[in-house]
Amino acid sequence: MNIGNFFKKIPKFFLEVKAEMKKVSWPTRQETKRNTILVISVSIVTAMFLGGLDALFAWIINKII
């Protein structure tokens, strides 16, 4: 690849990025807040579930050994 050709393509790239970003459907503040709360809640529930399984398996292994 010719380095001069590379530098000629940079402005075109950023113009295309700008055009594509205008097409993006951005979530509203309320949607973002709701989805953030959902992700945090699911993460906490999953962590508690996996922690419970870990404690259960540790207890079982300690009883066997």
Is the pLDDT reported for residue 21 higher than 80? yes
Structure tokens at 62: 């300690």
Q: Most distant CA pair in the chain: distance in Å?
A: 70
Share of the chain above pLDDT 90, in %: 85
pLDDT score, position 1: 58
Predicted confidence band of residue 2 (pLDDT cuts 50, 70, 90): confident
Q: Which helix (H) or strand (E) holds 17?
A: helix 3-23
pLDDT tens across 32-57, in order? Answer: 999 999 999 999 999 999 999 999 99
Q: In this prediction, what percent of the chain has a pLDDT beyond 70?
A: 98
49 contacts 56 by C-beta, under 8 angstroms: no
